[in-house]
Structure 1
Amino acid sequence: MATISRIKALDPTVINRIAAGEIIIAPVNALKELLENSIDAGSTIIEILAKDGGIKLLQITDNGSGIDENDLPILCHRFTTSKLTKFEDLTSIETYGFRGEALASISHIAHLSVLTRTRKSSCGWKAIYSDGELTQQNGSNDPIPAAGKIGTTFTIEDFFYNVPSRLRALKTANDEFTKILDVIGRYAIHCNNVGFSCKKFGDSHYLLNTRPNLPIQERIRAVFGSSISNDLVQIDIENGFNDLGVKRVYGQVTSPNFNNKKPIQPVFFINNRLVSNDTLRRALLSSMNRFLPKGHKPFIYLSLSIDPRNLDVNVHPTKREVKFLNEDEIIDRICLKVIEELSKIDSSRNFSTQTLKDTDRKNLQESDSSQAYKKPKYDYNLVRVDSQQSKITSYLFKPEMDSQGMDTSKLSSTLIQAKEYTVVPKETVDHNLQSIIDLREEVKQNTSKKLTNIFTNISYIGIVDPRRRLCSVQHDVKLLLIDYGAILNELFYQIALWNFGNYGILILKAEAESSSVSIEKLLLPLYNSEFNPNQTIQDIQSTLEENSEMFEEYFSLKFENGTICQLPLLIKNYTPPLSKLSIFIYNLATKINYNDEKECLKGILKHIALLYVPLSFGASDEFQTDTLNEILENVLVPHLRKNFLAPIGLNSDIVEIANLPGLYKVFERC
């Protein structure tokens, strides 16, 4: 008969070693805790020395405020801290440490000594700890005076000397040192007022060395190298999201030009605390992948400042995870900001490096991060067309063909003989007009996450009705009918809005003339049908000339001596239907409220977008259908996948007409 084991209280030494094993898993965990203590102490210089990956020796020296001599006897007692006094203080905690467990845990699994000196002390004090208590030195358990600089030096030796199973579980010395260097580098990037240095025991050179108050790009260069620091895009939401309790979001991410296939773990700080957040990581990678070549990996550094009342920091023994309110909404808004900033770089990159006759094409899409576990898919649920794969016809597409993006049969050939566009090399200018900022914010606030996800993963099939401007696309296992006229109108508006003041230039040439197209000749066909009785062509020209400086500076529109010389170029390899030019000019002069800045800019952007929308035509015109099919598939739909924030109002322009599970029920096969 089996004996019944009685319940007994564990010995305090056993309890403390178990607890220490939850806090300190490897030398890098001890390093992180002590780094945070040094930063909390106001240090501006922190030096780290490691031997055998920190297992034999890990020393952290800072120039902070030091530890008072009278606090040394209880320094390594569990739950002794200067950071809080009651549980409610956790709702406003802004320091790194708060539980008072780190030093206690270290003293239970390693040999710990502390040398410290405060500014008011005439000498330093040295203390040695074991199992949370002071141990004898020179025949006394009390701290002893010692020479030392202002600040504190923690020396930890022989990690897990009394827990052999944990010691055996550690990786090689090089692996452990790599982890140490990685953590120091992350704090070096974030803490701009602290200088960090790290070297191996016995080496004369530092493997990492940063000075205080370096620019963020220089700190990233010191940690990750110039390949990353030379391709950074700033993410700065200075006023945060007040309605969600976010004070500020700041970060640096690599641009679409960054060439790297090795994964880089993102650097996330929330309220100055180094954390990991899988939801944020996956969302950002998914947002950035649409701008990167297939298989390439970005660098991400992001710092969030959140109202401490909305943050729970006490959810993980090592404090590597935190929970905060409105997580999904906050992450969505951050991703939209990242997409906005990368879209600027993506468009600028395309315009500054390619010209009309450049036929090279690159597929810059990558599918969302793969999941660790995927449910099995049956035949009727298989996606048989991958939106991220190119067709062979995409490599045969010739952007220099005459019919490029235009209905040539409907052009006023007596007015416009040739079209060419050029790119004027210039640095991207950020016009910080409040009206433009407000218009961009309106787009973001009106974005449908569900519809945007659909457009990110569509595969183009073909035009269904060119007169009504309808085409079919596939998303997942669904066949959709979309109004490409309405959708492209919104796409062109967003491209014009996000690239405001930084367009390419489309130069117009008239027949038998060296340059420019006469406005009077363009408007004559409209005179009887569109003009009000009191309007004259001279009135139109006068309005355009009065605003010509604004048109040229902000919209790359140039009116000169009664002619139109150039138009804004929104997308490479696509020019607008120039048969719309007459009504476009007429609308600019008569449909815009020039007395209100926001309404004026919005109106011009809307009419530019409308100019770019492809014309409708009869289904019997096979040549135009084939031409537009090529342009939609190879030029415009890729922009929908990469750069489009679908507004909620587009719901009515998308109709599901079939899906594979439904077809399987009818035909019983795929």
Structure 2
Amino acid sequence: MDSRARLSSPTPPEPLPIRRLQESLINRIAAGEIIHRPASALKELVENCLDAGATSVRVTVKDGGMKLLQIQDNGCGIRKSDLPILAERFTTSKLSTFSDLSHIRTYGFRGEALASMSHVAHLSVVTKTKSDSCAWKAYYSDGVLVEPKAGQTSDPKPTAGNDGTTIIVEDMFYNTPTRLSSLRSASEEYSRILDVLTKYAVHNPRVSFVCKKAGSSSPDLSTPSASAVTHTIRLLYGHSISKELIHIETSSSAHQTRKIDDMDEDDPIDDPEAWTAEAHVTNANYQAKKTVFLLFINHRLVESSRMKRAFEAVYNGILPKSSFPFIYLSLEIDPRSVDVNVHPTKREVHFLNEDTIVEKISDAIQQALAVQNHSRAFAYQTLLTGGVEYDAQASKKRKGKEREVNVTEEARPSSNSSNMLNTDALKKTYSQHKVRTSLKDRTLDSMFPVANPAKIFPNSSGQEKMADAPTGTTKAREIGESECSLTSIQTLRRNLIKGKHKYLSEILEKHIFVGIVDLPRSLSLVQYSTKLYLVNHGSLAEELFYQIGLRQFGDLGRMKLEPPPPLRTLIEIAVNAEKSTEDTCIHFHRTDCEQRIVDILMARREMLTEYFSLDITSSGLVESLPLLLRDYTPNLDHLPSFLMRLGPQVDWTSEAECFDSFLRELAYFYTPVPLFTSVSDSEEQNAQEKSERWQIQHVLFPTIRRYLAAPKSLLDRDVVQVASLPELYKVFERC
């Protein structure tokens, strides 16, 4: 038979039998629709935390959430009796009948999030309600309780824990290798997690959010509770956005003032089509490469490409081409007008009168931008050199001059030496790339008149020095590293080297001190290359003194106290001045607190003398303090507080933790702090302030330049670039 004939009259295949899928396969398919990646799992869990009334949400992530995703909250917790069905599908406390879906006010309602995670990961839960005497821990797999170890029962186990719930998701997608291989790198998945948390933190400013990587001491995201939306936006998205924000409020009717959440659904004046909107959008001064759009409908984080396009169209006539705004919109609609069950991950919602609502919000944004549009008026002036017209030849000639080899006036050769210059010496250095390299150049302090010149005199290097400052040369002395065979100290020293940030250390090593700009706030200016940095010299000093103490461990100098003060008297002074003593020592009387601190220090006198040069006699007199840096004297007014803090703040139970926490407290004691003096002692205050300024400039910063191995944590808020010479020249050229 011809093949063409077979094609023209095909034989119909036999129908395949319809089978019922296995329950495990059904659940795994459903889990794939809910949990796409670690960020989607996090979104579900964070919403559960907020539904539980949490005011603090802490997230710990390992390998982008694929190895570990832990979410801890301080919400209401879960009853022990509910734990057996917690991870089963369609088990929820949010719905009881189908009609409840029409006025749902919570984030979750289907009861599929934890069930889905138990099918694609190892899930464990630690929870405690306020009425429970202890927390309960349970392990789940495929929606049911499982035993944590072979031979144990699957029942929830009592454990220690705080009020609230901790969800631990480990080895996500371990049983679905295709989904696991489709995920991006760990760093990109972690950035998606941070993006989700950032958006929920903006919308929930009264909730504290913390996110960090497992093993990291500092969080990558941290927001305080009880703050405003604008404050959270400034904290998470930066000052450049927050200073350009416009606050907009609009609603379905001009007279409507109540929010939808405050309305009672049985209220006779309640309108099912009522809505309110609150937005924070940037004005015409802010431009970005892409739109940042945060949309919350009834407090649920959703996406709407239609809304995004409509709002971008408002900015098209205001912003330059390829420039986009920042928009945060919170839209509250009557729950009866919203269908939240249209997407497996609740990423989209449908609601009535969408076109009308979007149009009205767009009009409100446009009106607010029109009011703010006056801020984009630029001042300019006409040329004073004969007009603004010039020919093309003059333009080409001016552009050609930029490529010619020129010599500045300072480097212009004489006629006798012109033949000796080589090509490298004739290369022009443009003004925007010139770097001040002389340490004798003027600082900020030298630009202001001196009120009492008799109190200041120049030292041998030409730098100004206080007459009542410590005597001796300002030349930095060598700080050698002591020999120490203790494993804990060697580990701490290795950690310092390992945590050193190369570029920041280079900035501080090669910086030029410009001046102290705000002594009470510990702010100074330093220059590196063609950039200007604002640094917190208090934070730099604290890290420096910690490293110096660790460097000289066991071989610290001594600062004698004459006469030696009694240890107990100093601690009594500190305890009486400490406002929070009743909170920190709630289980003890104040006298018992003082005695306990004294006993701790007296019992360890020999160790304090041998390792830290802190000499305390058997009768309780403080004879000497550790001397970290020559020519630098700490403020002894803080000595009582330093000795008091050694009791509760130092971990005396572990060798490494003891040494580390003691050195941290010692560094805190040495850190320069603002002086608080009465107005009647203004002359003495000025003298002390000048002495402190001299000490910071001529002792502290040279030592920072030489010895500080700067950690990355200083980049968070203690070292900020405030100016760049090439960038400033670009601004001047546009003007």
Q: TM-score, normalised by structure 2?
A: 0.47
> Could you say which residue in structure 1 is the equivalent of 2:339?
312
> Could you say which residue in structure 1 is the equivalent of 2:37?
26
Match of 1:17 among 28, 32, 45: 28
> Could you say which residue in structure 1 is the equivalent of 2:203?
190
> Could you say which residue in structure 2 is the equivalent of 1:299?
326
> Could you say which residue in structure 1 is the equivalent of 2:50?
39
Change (3 A) 1:288 1:98: same
- Structure 1 position 223, deviation (Å): 1.8
Instruction: Name the CA distance, whole Å, in 2 between partners of 1:282 and 1:334.
Output: 13
Instruction: Name the CA distance, whole Å, in 2 between partners of 1:160 and 1:56.
Output: 10
Instruction: Give 1:347's aligned amino acid.
Output: H
Match of 1:248 among 276, 283, 287: 276
> Could you say which residue in structure 1 is the equivalent of 2:304?
277
- Structure 1 position 3, deviation (Å): 5.5
Instruction: Name the CA distance, whole Å, in 1 between partners of 2:297 and 2:350.
Output: 10
Instruction: Name the CA distance, whole Å, in 2 between partners of 1:5 and 1:265.
Output: 50
Q: Residue 61 in 1 paired to residue 89 in 2?
A: no
> Could you say which residue in structure 2 is the equivalent of 1:90?
101
Q: Residue 159 in 1 paired to residue 209 in 2?
A: no
Match of 1:99 among 104, 110, 113: 110
Instruction: Name the CA distance, whole Å, in 2 between partners of 1:321 and 1:259.
Output: 28
Instruction: Name the CA distance, whole Å, in 1 between partners of 2:382 and 2:253.
Output: 41
> Could you say which residue in structure 2 is the equivalent of 1:201?
214
Q: How does 1:532-551 map to 2 (within 5 A)?
A: none
Q: How does 1:498-509 map to 2 (within 5 A)?
A: none
Change (3 A) 1:239 1:354: farther
Instruction: Name the CA distance, whole Å, in 2 between partners of 1:230 and 1:123.
Output: 47
- Structure 1 position 35, deviation (Å): 0.2
- Structure 1 position 98, deviation (Å): 0.4
> Could you say which residue in structure 2 is the equivalent of 1:137?
148
- Structure 1 position 168, deviation (Å): 0.6
Instruction: Name the CA distance, whole Å, in 1 between partners of 2:298 and 2:200.
Output: 13
Q: Residue 117 in 1 paired to residue 128 in 2?
A: yes
Instruction: Name the CA distance, whole Å, in 1 between partners of 2:134 and 2:275.
Output: 42
Match of 1:346 among 370, 373, 386: 373
CA contact (8 A) 2:250 2:278 kept: yes
> Could you say which residue in structure 1 is the equivalent of 2:364?
337
- Structure 1 position 147, deviation (Å): 0.3
Instruction: Name the CA distance, whole Å, in 2 between partners of 1:314 and 1:64.
Output: 25
Q: Residue 264 in 1 paired to residue 264 in 2?
A: no
> Could you say which residue in structure 1 is the equivalent of 2:313?
286
CA contact (8 A) 1:74 1:80 kept: yes
Instruction: Give 1:278's aligned amino acid.
Output: S
Deviations 1:357-391 (A, max 9, x none): 679xxxxxxxxxxxxxxxxxxxxxxxxxxxxxxxx
Q: Residue 231 in 1 paired to residue 217 in 2?
A: no
Q: How does 1:590-669 map to 2 (within 5 A)?
A: none
- Structure 1 position 58, deviation (Å): 0.3
Instruction: Name the CA distance, whole Å, in 2 between partners of 1:280 and 1:268.
Output: 9
After the TM superposition, list the runs of 4 or more consecutive aligned residues in structure 1 that deviate by more than 6 angstroms. 241-244
Q: How does 1:506-521 map to 2 (within 5 A)?
A: none
Instruction: Give 1:79's aligned amino acid.
Output: F
> Could you say which residue in structure 1 is the equivalent of 2:89?
78
SS at match of 1:59: strand
> Could you say which residue in structure 2 is the equivalent of 1:399?
none
SS at match of 1:297: coil
- Structure 1 position 348, deviation (Å): 4.2
CA contact (8 A) 1:208 1:222 kept: no
Instruction: Give 1:152's aligned amino acid.
Output: T
CA contact (8 A) 2:77 2:165 kept: yes
Instruction: Name the CA distance, whole Å, in 1 between partners of 2:210 and 2:368.
Output: 33
Instruction: Name the CA distance, whole Å, in 2 between partners of 1:87 and 1:233.
Output: 41
SS at match of 1:198: strand
Change (3 A) 1:358 1:204: farther
CA contact (8 A) 2:272 2:337 kept: no
Instruction: Name the CA distance, whole Å, in 1 between partners of 2:75 and 2:42.
Output: 16
Instruction: Give 1:333's aligned amino acid.
Output: K
Instruction: Name the CA distance, whole Å, in 1 between partners of 2:304 and 2:251.
Output: 22
- Structure 1 position 5, deviation (Å): 2.4
**Length, aligned pairs only:** 355
SS at match of 2:313: helix
- Structure 1 position 259, deviation (Å): 3.0
Q: TM-score, normalised by structure 1?
A: 0.52
Provide the identity percentage: 50
Instruction: Name the CA distance, whole Å, in 2 between partners of 1:341 and 1:358.
Output: 33
> Could you say which residue in structure 1 is the equivalent of 2:591?
none
Instruction: Name the CA distance, whole Å, in 2 between partners of 1:358 and 1:316.
Output: 60
CA contact (8 A) 1:52 1:173 kept: yes
- Structure 1 position 4, deviation (Å): 4.2
Instruction: Give 2:90's aligned amino acid.
Output: F
Match of 1:222 among 220, 235, 243: 235
- Structure 1 position 152, deviation (Å): 0.5
* Structure with greater contact order relative to length (CA < 8 Å, sep ≥ 6): 1
- Structure 1 position 136, deviation (Å): 0.8
Instruction: Name the CA distance, whole Å, in 2 between partners of 1:163 and 1:109.
Output: 7
Change (3 A) 1:216 1:101: same
Instruction: Name the CA distance, whole Å, in 1 between partners of 2:83 and 2:47.
Output: 19
